[in-house]
Amino acid sequence: MLISAFGVYLNSKLINPLVFYTSLHAICWPIDGLLIGILLLCSRRNWPWIMAGYMITTGTQLRLLGQPLSQVAGDVGCNVFEMVFAAAMLPGFTNLSDWLRRPGLILRFSVVVLIGAPLIPAVPWSAYTHVHLGEEFWSTVQHWVSGDALGIALFTPLVLVLASRETYLLLRPGQRLKTLVMFGLLLGTSWFIFHQTAYPVAFLIFPILVLMVDRVGFPGAVLAVNLVTIIAAHGTIGGMGPFMFVQGHHEPYRIMTLQAYLTIAMVMSFAITLTARDRDDFQEQLKLALQQMEVLATRDGLTGLGNRRLFDQTLDAEWGRARRQGMSIGLLLLDVDYFKSYNDMYGHLAGDHCLCAIASSFGTHLKRAGDLAARYGGEEFVVLLPGATLEDASVIAESIRKGVEALGLEHKGNATGVVTISVGFSAVVPGTVRPSQRLIAAADEALYAAKQGGRNRGVSASSHVPEACEA
């Protein structure tokens, strides 16, 4: 209630007298936009208290000006309906980024709130003033709707922007100079447009607003349109600016044109902001989709390890790098012992769980950047070890073998009583050609030897590639 009363007092003592009154009527009514913004910031259970503060303050003010009670009740009641209706039609505000992404926001704001909310109460109020005060009906409707629409368009976003942390980031060190330059350009252009009568160049403000949305975002654009309003109102009331060319210089037409111009500027800022955010959201979703596609294309769906495609690509790249730099490259081939009998005994679902458990254990033993574990096919795995010597490969192979055995996965078909693996490993320094498949063949021969030797063991291949393969 106190906030509402203070808003009404500030509006009547500072904002309206400063720029928004002409000799005939108000250019806009800021209080409606201010209180709609406050309603959006507050829980709906507090709305009655906010409106009560407005009704008491405004009603008292109008009575002190000598208005009859029935007129005060009608005026205040119509404004309360307008503000509550407008706030109810807009999504509640938590933060600016989420609020701007709410579905249908631009349609609700530009049509329902800016047109519908002022128009609905304007009709009964204009009928009242026509009957009791002799005012022209359509002229009253026009003044009510245009003034309130502009007040809502300017001040509701302004309240939300000032309540948003995003706004104050415009003054952070890395952004401050850009912000000042953009506002300087806007204010200079606005002053030129509305303080001369030689050129009808009102359109110049729109490309600058588009640029501001791009450079300083929606908060900057909202602040910009409000600053343009001050300059435009000052110039137009003073008989300057492009709207002096409208309808033989008659003030009501100039003011109507100015109101439409400023309202369109704010709605345009809304539309551009939402379009830009939709574009950014689409780009982010596309980026995530591409990342997911890349994962699906290079990862094994069961174990989450790299798949055969990723392994082949990585082997080619690392083999070429090792050859250029004269480094060794190691490789392990691992096979789950008696896995067919495990599937027959425990079922394929248990077999899948077994493979996943083994794959998960690899991370404990592969600590070096660049090491790659992949599923090679069926129950076979491969580990690529860039920069590893045969001795390094031997240590890692034994560590992985012991780690799998330590998992203690029951396997009654294995003499050990638990799941084990056999490992064949090799390491070479590549020669002048690209016989990377020979590295795999050597590890495969070693794996065969490990199986023939009783399984649950690691066997090394020759530490060199035959000259015939290095021609």
Q: Is 379 a catalytic residue?
A: yes
State both tokens at 19: 């720029």
State both tokens at 242: 């492009």
Write the DSSP symbol of residue 299: B
Count other C-beta atoms under 10 Å from residue 75's C-beta: 18
Beta strands in 247-355 (DSSP E): 329-336
State both tokens at 431: 């020669």
Provide the pairing of β-strand 380-386 with 421-428.
unpaired
Closest C-alpha among 264, 268, 162, 269 to residue 215: 269
Provide the pairing of β-strand 329-336 with 372-377.
unpaired
Of 135, 136, 318, 379, which residue is the catalytic one?
379
- Main-chain phi, psi angles of 306, to 5 degrees: -60, 155
In this structure, are residues 262 and 158 in contact, taking their beta carbons and an 8 Å threshold? no
Residue type, 277: R
In this structure, are residues 194 and 227 in contact, taking their beta carbons and an 8 Å threshold? no
- Main-chain phi, psi angles of 421, to 5 degrees: -130, 155
Residue type, 239: G
Write the DSSP symbol of residue 113: I
Coil, strand, or helix at residue 144? helix
In this structure, are residues 210 and 219 in contact, taking their beta carbons and an 8 Å threshold? no
- Return the residue matching tokens 């359509």: 138
Tell me the catalytic residues. Answer: 379
